[in-house]
Amino acid sequence: MSTFPRPLLLLGCGQVGRALLGLLPKWTEHLQLWGVADTSGLLLTQEPALVRAHKLAGRPLSSLGAGPMALPPTAGLVIDAAVGDNTTLWLEALSYGHAVVTANKVPLSRPAAPWDLWRPAWERRTLGLASTVGAGVPSASCLLRLREEGDTVRSIQAVVSGTLHFVLERVAAGQRFSDAVFDAKDQGYSEPDPTLDLSGADVGRKLTILGHLASLWQRAPMLDVEPLAPPNWRGLSATDLHDALRTLDGSFARRVLAARDAGERLRYVGRASGTGVRCALEPVPAESPLGRLGPSDNGVILHTQRFHATPLGLTGPGFGPETTARALLADARAACNRFSS
């Protein structure tokens, strides 16, 4: 039987990575920090508080002596809280007996993603994906359970952008759309450039991942993603973006009011089926599972062969750095338990 704790390599020191470093002292029974990597290199360290403080100050790990990327010398965990295509590193880590736990969606959702390798690793629980979709909503583990029980998923309906849900809930409460977007940014719920969230691309990636896990397709699906702001607004200064977003305030207020008058709620909904992925702003019945979501919730509705007349609904906390970090650590503990079995 393998022993605890397992060496941990953390990729990424953004909001989620820093939240995870803050939680690590409570997980020493399972994990021992071995190294942390940012875009400047890999720092070999067992001091999460030191790294967290250094990154909170906005400094690169290279200023602490970070060097080239490497993997722990003994089988352990790679937690990917970065943003970027780390496919090669994942494949290397898995081939050397490490487990990979990720909140990074890029290696899973790019057109050439090697799902012939990812899916078996997920089924063996050496690839933890829970944090890629819905953070605190256990959609990936539920899909694995349905798969093991022989059920067949027919389609998926989901609200899985915490940022967009936060914004729409604020607009429903009477706030202007433009101000709600910047409130989300100020509270750390959106990307530094909010147009990345408003593009809907992140929802498309999440539904792509869920569709692969549900075996809705074997190749990259067709994507139809409706943006909430024009793509050419990306990169605008904060002042110019706020001014541009103000031109949408009236439209969003009218759509929210029309939905409310019809007994509905406005949601940014992602749908996955055998024909592909569709993501768009749409009204849903106020008393439906997605209509009843709280301001900080995400929701995933699974239509399966078994759960057809009454689809299976999963709802729960869906965004925030600490929520995502806790989901990563839960996946990490499951991987550690597999090492010891």
Q: Which residues are catalytic?
A: 206
Q: Which residues have C-beta within 8 Å of that of residue 194, sequence separation ≥ 6?
A: 163, 181, 182, 184, 185, 241
**Strand 312-317 relative to strand 297-304, pairing:** antiparallel
Distance CA 123, CA 101 (A): 13
Which of 221, 219, 233, 228 shows the shortest CA–CA distance to 201? Answer: 228
List the structure tokens of 269.
Answer: 């909904």
Contact of 156 with 272, CB cutoff 8 Å: yes
**Strand 276-285 relative to strand 264-273, pairing:** antiparallel
Contact of 177 with 252, CB cutoff 8 Å: yes
Distance CA 197, CA 187 (A): 14
Distance CA 257, CA 251 (A): 10
Contact of 215 with 209, CB cutoff 8 Å: no
**Strand 223-225 relative to strand 276-285, pairing:** parallel
- Tell me the H-state helices in 162-286: 162-172, 177-186, 195-198, 201-213, 238-246, 249-261
How buried is residue 87: exposed, middle or buried, by Cβ count under 10 Å (0-12/13-18/19+)?
A: middle
Please calculate the CA angle 112-339-335 and round it to the nearest 5 degrees.
50
